[in-house]
């Protein structure tokens, strides 16, 4: 069964718009970790955030915010006032005890911010 | 500090030849991962090393693929008798490991773009 689903393949927004990238995960574990990565056109994946399953507090970092909801198995990522530099592919990932230390990555959402 | 480094950055090889891809993880990181990313696709897990434990090879697509990690540091991914479908970007990542053996976030290298002609 697919562990991480990113249903949005591609999203385009106009600069300064807000955008939310969806991530739905599947696990039977009570202890797990969720991650978001950014892959800009240059290609190198950049770690953005790690969240453990016991911490449902939403997190904000500048224009980035994350909404973790265990009830819906979702870990969504919102960019406020998007900028052209936000254009990238964003990956959500899951690590749980069943996978050992293997990470399951979603298929990614390609975000294009139009100036 | 220095991040994960990979070499070469680009490799073009003829079908049937063997290739070796190198990964130098972040110093002190005990876990090392190899992934494959085909054009416009997500990340495909290949193999995982954790300290001196036996590697998790469950993602290797065929017996033409192998990897080793010497001295718990540098890793080499070898593809024998390359095929055109092996063309992809090969990414290496490393991470710290929690006391109970759970991995923290992975830090990725820039990748090696392999083209098999």
pLDDT of B99 reads 59
Instruction: For residue A91, give the nearest of B43, B89, B95 by CB distance.
Output: B43
How close B15 comes to chain A (CA, Å)?
25
Cβ A35–B105 below 8 Å, yes or no? yes
Q: What is the DSSP string of A61-101?
A: ETTEEEEEEGGGTEEEEEESS--GGG-EEEEEEEEEGGGTT
> What is the DSSP code (8-state) at residue B3?
-
Cβ A43–B110 below 8 Å, yes or no? yes
Which residues, at least 6 apart from B59, have a Cβ–Cβ distance to it below 8 Å?
A: A102, B44, B45, B46, B47, B48
What is the pLDDT confidence band of residue B5, given thresholds at 50, 70 and 90?
A: very high
Say yes or no: A44 contacts chain B, CB-CB below 8 A.
Answer: yes
Cβ A101–B105 below 8 Å, yes or no? no
* Chain A residues close to B42, C-beta within 8 Å: 91, 105-108
Contact A93, A25 (CB under 8 A): no
| Tens digit of each residue's pLDDT (9 = 90 or more) over B50-107 | 888 888 898 999 999 999 998 878 999 999 999 999 999 999 999 887 656 566 889 9
Cα separation, A43 vs A106, whole angstroms: 17
pLDDT of B92 reads 96
* Chain A residues close to B93, C-beta within 8 Å: 45
What is the pLDDT confidence band of residue B30, given thresholds at 50, 70 and 90?
A: confident
Average pLDDT over every residue of A7-31: 94
């Amino acid at each position: 069964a697919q562990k991480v689903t990113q249903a949005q393949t591609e999203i385009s927004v106009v600069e300064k718009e807000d955008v939310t990238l969806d991530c739905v995960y599947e696990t039977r574990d009570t202890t797990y970790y969720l991650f978001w990565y950014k892959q800009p056109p240059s290609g190198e994946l950049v770690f953005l955030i790690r969240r453990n399953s016991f911490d449902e507090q939403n997190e904000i970092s500048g224009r980035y915010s994350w909404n973790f909801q265990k009830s819906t198995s979702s870990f969504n990522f919102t960019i406020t006032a998007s900028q052209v530099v936000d254009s990238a592919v964003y990956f959500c990932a899951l690590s749980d005890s069943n996978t050992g230390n293997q990470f399951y990555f979603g298929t990614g959402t390609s975000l294009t911010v139009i100036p | 500090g220095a991040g994960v480094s990979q070499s070469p950055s680009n490799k073009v090889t003829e079908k049937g030849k063997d290739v070796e891809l190198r990964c130098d993880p972040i110093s002190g990181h005990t876990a090392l991962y190899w992934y494959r990313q085909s054009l416009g696709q997500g990340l495909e897990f290949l193999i995982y090393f954790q300290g001196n434990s036996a590697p998790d090879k469950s993602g290797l697509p065929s017996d033409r693929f192998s990897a080793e990690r010497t001295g718990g540091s540098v890793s080499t991914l070898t593809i024998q008798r390359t095929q055109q479908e092996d063309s992809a970007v090969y990414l290496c990542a490393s991470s710290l490991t929690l006391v109970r053996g759970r991995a923290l976030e992975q830090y990725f290298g820039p990748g090696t773009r392999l083209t098999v002609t």
